[in-house]
Chain A
Amino acid sequence: MRKPAPVPEDESHLGDLWNRFRQNDEKAFDELAKRRYRLLFNYATRFTKDSELIKDCIQDLFLELWYRRARLTDTTYVTVYLISALRNNLLRKLKVNNRLDDSADIATSCERFTDNLTVETILISSESMSQKEREIRNAINRLPRRQQEVIFLKFYEGLSNDEIARIMEIERQTVANFLYRAISQLKNDLPSISHLIPQLFLFFASGSIWQLTD
């Protein structure tokens, strides 16, 4: 069993870096980018599989922050701020490029529109990924985009439903619903985890935490 890797708890340090970078500290800025680049990149793959576009978006985001450093305000949760900012930029850019289609399967729409290397082709030979993780990745990529986003924020970054709601600008309850539907879908798609959910009646018995609203 792969030991769960803890998501680093460096948010308070990040706030410190944020404040130093606002006062022209170049090292703090570089460090901030270093600590959150991976998260932002992986998050952006929920919107597009065009890795060059993602890299440009993140580069633009950080440079814009650097230019506007004197005018930035104090923020208690830097990660949520960065994710929200990148989200806005991505959505704007993808709208312009007409690549984003909420209803369609995101993977096929990207194949249609982009000639660039996609994140999939780059990582195809990656050895760090087990067969099961590959299955899970494929299953996640088959989910509707916003469910993918919730799954990412929840299980990659470990954000709370409140924080996810703030980033996606939706109700907290909607986050819970997305999450519920996504997990159910994953269960159906992944035969290997189905057997782990044998006592379905327990779910109905405990039933209080799921509220099905469509």
Chain B
Amino acid sequence: MQDYARYDIKDFLADEPFCRWVLHQKPADCAFWQNWLQKNPDRADIVRSARELISEIHHAQHYLTDEELQQELSRLTAARKAATEDQTYSEPPRRSWFGKFALVLTALFCVVGFWYFYTSFSTNSGLLKVGQKPLKDHKNGQWTQVTNNQRTPKSMLLPDGSKVTLSPRSRISYPLHFEKKQREVLLNGEAFFDVIRNPQSPFKVYTSDLVTTVLGTSFTVKAFDQDKDVRVVVKTGRVTVAATTPESKPADSQTNQLILRPNQQVIYHREDQKMKRSLIENPLEVGPAEVIQQNLVFENAPVASVFDSLQKRYEVQIIYDADLLAHCQLTAELGQEPLFEKLGMICKAIQARYELIDGQIVIHGSSCK
């Protein structure tokens, strides 16, 4: 026990338990010092001065205003968000040239290896050719391969619970355990994916030309080696499609990456390596079945509200000049006929026409005054 009765202010300032009491005010310390002060009332003054001085030294070292603190914290949060998106989304495009070169080399080795394996041992050799991009962690975990040689589609579950419907003559490879940061599968052929949502772990489908990235959604990828083009069709949610061709220059990565919404598809032409976004032939209504079954009824409704309802039902984008069509009204009942039929009817009624541009519907019309 220190002989606190003989302490002067400097001693108190340097005393660890004393400082701890003043600055942290832990119950045990409080009890001790209250007790001690009762026994040594003549030291009360010096203890009070020491406490005051410590407190003043503490306050004298405040240099940050509250506004500055708030400002810096928001700046940090914004930077953290940007960093997170960087890490999840743009990792493939940000690969260095050397990395790309290494990947291409690995791809070559894998292709040669698989080809050797197939031609030497496989009974159904030559049925499928492997042209996929290899994945970074081929060496770490075991991969499973499923091939559908039947004539009907085959349903299966992936390790994360996502559903895959594999079309005939198609093959999918996936790790026994997905990585924490991303879920990667290789596809050769066609499959429909219904992916369990996980924002922390993007789901990526690699085919020979495209990589399709989603957080959780349903979509179809069709990439048969013998076909001239590759197709990705979105049913629900948002999907990012990027070309994986090594020839694509880094500067092109913007143009070689598209975001798809429901009822949109991207067609990648292998010959000229170009991606084109469009609406699928017969867009489907999105949403619960009971909503879909209800007919849309309009009585002298502004045509804008009709377009709005269609946009919501099909999650498509309809672009029109709201000012121009402000006076156009419509009375109609829209049922189960295809979207493009509905659009045709509406356009006929208001003397307009529609055009499909880049996966969107553009209405050209005139004033209904």
Contact = CB atoms under 8 A, between A and B. Distances in A.
A97 interface: no
B83 A37 contact: no
Interface string A175-209: 01001100110010000010011011011011001
A130 B24 CA distance: 22
Interface string B1-40: 0110011111101111001101111100000000000000
A9 B10 contact: no
A39 B188 CA distance: 56
Interface stretch (B72-80, B226-234, B300-308, B349-357): B72-80
B58 interface: yes
B11 A206 contact: yes
A180 B19 contact: no
A176 B349 CA distance: 90
Interface string A132-172: 11101100100000000001101110101100000000000
A139 B24 CA distance: 24
A176 B14 contact: yes
A41 B63 contact: yes
A4 B19 contact: no
B58 A38 contact: no
A136 B77 CA distance: 35
Nearest to B50: A196
Interface size range of chain A in the complex:
35 or more
Given A38-B64, A122-B68, A158-B19, A59 B79 contact: yes
Contact of B59 (A2, A187, A210): A2
B367 interface: no
Given A2-B55, A24-B200, A66-B80, A137 B61 contact: yes
B6 A193 contact: no
Contacts of B247: none
Interface residues of B, number: 51
B53 interface: yes
B84 A26 contact: yes
A42 B61 contact: yes
A155 B80 contact: no
Contacts of B76: 30, 33, 37, 59, 62-63
B228 to A, nearest CB: 42
A59 B75 contact: yes
Nearest to B77: A30
Contact of B52 (A2, A26, A137, A202): A2
A2 B61 contact: no
A209 B73 contact: no
Interface in B46-90: 46, 48-49, 51-65, 68-69, 72-73, 75-77, 79-81, 83-84, 87
A2 B63 contact: no
Contacts of B55: 2-5
B270 to A, nearest CB: 37
Contacts of B58: 4-5, 7, 155-156
B187 to A, nearest CB: 28
Contacts of A199: 8
Contact of A38 (B10, B20, B49, B69): B69
Nearest to B73: A34
A140 B23 contact: no
B24 A123 contact: no
Given A155-B57, A196-B9, A58 B63 contact: no
A196 B46 contact: yes
A128 B56 contact: no
Contacts of B2: 209
Contacts of A140: 57, 60-61
A96 interface: no
Contacts of B68: 51, 122
A164 to B, nearest CB: 10
B80 A26 contact: yes
A119 interface: yes
Contacts of B3: 206
Report the 4 A-B pairs with minimum CB-CB distance, sorted nearest first: A158-B23, A4-B55, A137-B60, A6-B25
Given A4-B25, A62-B76, 12 more contacts: A29-B80, A45-B61, A51-B63, A122-B65, A129-B59, A129-B62, A155-B54, A158-B19, A161-B16, A180-B14, A203-B11, A206-B3
11 contacts: A4-B58, A26-B80, A30-B80, A37-B64, A59-B75, A63-B76, A126-B65, A128-B62, A140-B60, A200-B8, A205-B6
